[in-house]
């Protein structure tokens, strides 16, 4: 096992916390007394050399069954990265061997005496209980930090407020650095004076000068100097901005809290999706002053566009803006009838969005946008009628030749003889969709195949049509989809 193996990803507990459990009666009798020593797990082994079975960070428990060479035994435990050794006084030894105590002092390994009445299982149970309590505290701290950061992001001065909240939660300093690593805004107090220069160096790691590195830069970087732990995070889509953190120590959950701040600051510092505010303003001014769509579209940064109509959400402008952001556009029009219209560059992929039904036009030039608006309106009507999350305009489809209102009127007239019998309509729809299969229709509707035959025969009689005629089937299927 390599010496550089990392400790398991469990919430560590201080060794002193385990020693403080009076019911266990543990006593440290050798090795350094360090408040920072942390236990990541418990492992029991009576192997002569437990090295191959250790991950690092363990409290190793042993009764010394195969203890032959204490010095080599302890050196191998230290080499594996174990935190401490717990030695049981039963059933092999009445006292801890003096040679083992000397070896632990010599190699710097904390040695705990486990009294006879304390089982190794009780020690392990106490460690897991302490870890569960530590995890609960960590989750509660992270949740409270997330709520505080979200509230700060909603303030009129969101960037300084988020930095202040982050510095307070981590008990250190939070800094927003620009593309040249210059400090733009900060909050909190640096643990040591050297922290500022060290953060500048880390910022150039995650946001290197143009041409400064080969390949992609890391999203984050960390370092430590005497008295401070340092971290830098590149803000996504924000033109080279960096979040820098200097804290007195690295606590569990700090990275998660910092990750929430990174997301919020990325949103607050990033330019608008699709086009910037000045470009939109210029396009609007030119349109009002008589410019054509092509000239306005050029200012918005795309030559071809897609129109999306959406229905759903809760009918608020915030919902409409959130949908536009999810699709990658700030060009959003929430209409009074509850429909949201969004203008997207044609190279943006439109995907289904939870809580919405979408109709998508074909990609068009700026001069064809009114026609694309009609296409998207028809597509969202079809999506609603067929209970589909997303429908794209298909220029060659028969349904595209009629408006949804015209198609529905035709359907009502064509299927009028069946209007009073939902069972017949449902059976006809299933039967046509399954290409006239009696057995598959019966299975889909959970009825007997003779019931299907009787209903289809009744449909043919009421409609006065030959349902074996493919032209009749096509007309009826179109009507059923439009009804």
CA distance 385 to 382: 5
Q: Hey, which bits of 213-265 come out as E strands?
A: 220-225, 228-234, 242-247
CA distance 21 to 425: 73
Burial class (CB in 10 A: 0-12, 13-18, 19+), 410: middle
CA distance 385 to 219: 45
Residue (of 124, 105, 104) closest to 114 by Cα position: 124
Q: Hey, which bits of 316-410 come out as E strands?
A: 332-334, 340-345, 356-360, 390-392
CA distance 381 to 386: 9
User: Domain boundaries in the chain?
Assistant: 13-130, 155-269, 301-401, 404-482
Domains 13-130 and 404-482 share a fold: no
| The domain made up of 13-130 is a member of CATH 3.40.1390.20 | yes
What is the distance between the terminal CA atoms of the chain, rounded to a whole angstrom?
69
> pLDDT at position 160, please?
86
> pLDDT at position 155, please?
75
Only one residue has tokens 């935190």, namely: 83
Burial class (CB in 10 A: 0-12, 13-18, 19+), 382: buried
Mean pLDDT of each 10-residue bin along the chain, 483 residues long: 44 89 94 83 93 92 93 95 93 92 94 94 94 85 87 79 90 87 85 87 82 67 89 76 88 83 79 55 73 73 85 66 74 82 87 88 86 88 84 67 70 88 91 90 90 92 89 86 77
73 and 60 Cβ atoms separated by less than 8 Å: no
> pLDDT at position 273, please?
45
> pLDDT at position 49, please?
92
> pLDDT at position 315, please?
61
Length of the chain: 483
**pTM, two decimal places:** 0.47
CA distance 91 to 119: 11
CA distance 108 to 248: 25
CATH placement of domain 155-269: 3.30.450.30
**Cβ neighbours of residue 137 under 8 Å, at least 6 residues apart?**
none
Burial class (CB in 10 A: 0-12, 13-18, 19+), 97: middle
> pLDDT at position 280, please?
67
| The domain made up of 404-482 is a member of CATH 1.10.10.2840 | yes
């Amino acid at each position: 096992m390599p010496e550089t193996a990392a400790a398991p990803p469990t919430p560590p507990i201080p060794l002193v916390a385990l020693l403080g459990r009076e019911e266990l009666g543990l006593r440290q009798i050798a090795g350094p007394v360090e408040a920072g020593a942390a236990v990541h797990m418990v492992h029991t082994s009576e192997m002569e050399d437990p090295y191959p079975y250790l991950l690092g960070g363990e409290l190793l428990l042993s009764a010394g069954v195969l203890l032959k060479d204490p010095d080599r035994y302890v050196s191998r435990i230290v080499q594996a990265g174990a935190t401490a050794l717990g030695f049981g006084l039963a059933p092999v030894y009445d006292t801890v061997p003096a040679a083992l105590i000397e070896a632990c002092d010599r190699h710097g390994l904390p040695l705990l005496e486990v009294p006879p009445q304390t089982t190794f299982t009780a020690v392990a149970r106490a460690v897991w209980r302490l870890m569960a309590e530590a995890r609960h505290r960590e989750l509660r701290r992270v949740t409270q930090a997330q709520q505080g950061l979200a509230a700060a992001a909603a303030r009129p001065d969101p960037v300084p407020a988020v930095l202040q909240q982050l510095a307070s939660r981590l008990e250190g300093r939070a800094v927003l650095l620009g593309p040249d690593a210059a400090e733009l805004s900060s909050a909190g107090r640096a643990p040591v004076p050297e922290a500022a220069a060290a953060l500048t160096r880390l910022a150039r790691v995650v946001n290197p000068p143009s041409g400064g590195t080969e390949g992609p830069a890391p999203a984050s970087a960390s370092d430590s100097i005497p008295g401070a732990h340092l971290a830098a995070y590149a803000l996504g889509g924000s033109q080279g901005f960096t979040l820098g953190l200097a804290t007195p120590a690295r606590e569990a959950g700090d990275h998660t809290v910092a990750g929430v701040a990174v997301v919020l600051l990325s949103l607050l510092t990033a330019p608008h999706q699709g086009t910037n505010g000045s470009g939109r303003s210029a396009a609007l001014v030119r349109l009002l002053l008589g410019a054509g769509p092509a000239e306005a579209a050029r200012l918005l940064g795309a030559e071809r566009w897609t129109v999306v109509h959406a229905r759903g959400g809760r009918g608020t402008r915030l919902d409409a803006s959130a949908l536009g952001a999810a699709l990658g556009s700030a060009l959003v029009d929430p209409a009074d009838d509850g429909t949201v219209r969004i203008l997207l560059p044609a190279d943006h992929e439109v995907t289904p969005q939870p809580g919405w039904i979408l109709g998508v036009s074909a990609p068009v030039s700026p001069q064809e946008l009114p026609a694309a608006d009609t296409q998207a309106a028809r597509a969202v009507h079809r999506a609603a009628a067929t209970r589909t999350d997303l429908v794209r305009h298909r220029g060659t489809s028969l349904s595209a030749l009629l408006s949804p209102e015209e198609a529905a009127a035709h359907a009502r007239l064509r299927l009028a003889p069946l209007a009073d019998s939902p069972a017949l309509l449902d059976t006809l729809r299933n039967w046509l969709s399954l290409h006239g299969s009696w057995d598959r229709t019966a299975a889909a509707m959970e009825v007997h195949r003779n019931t299907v035959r009787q209903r289809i025969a009744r449909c043919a009689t009421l409609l006065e049509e030959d349902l074996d005629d493919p032209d009749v089937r096509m007309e009826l299927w179109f009507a059923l989809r439009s009804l």
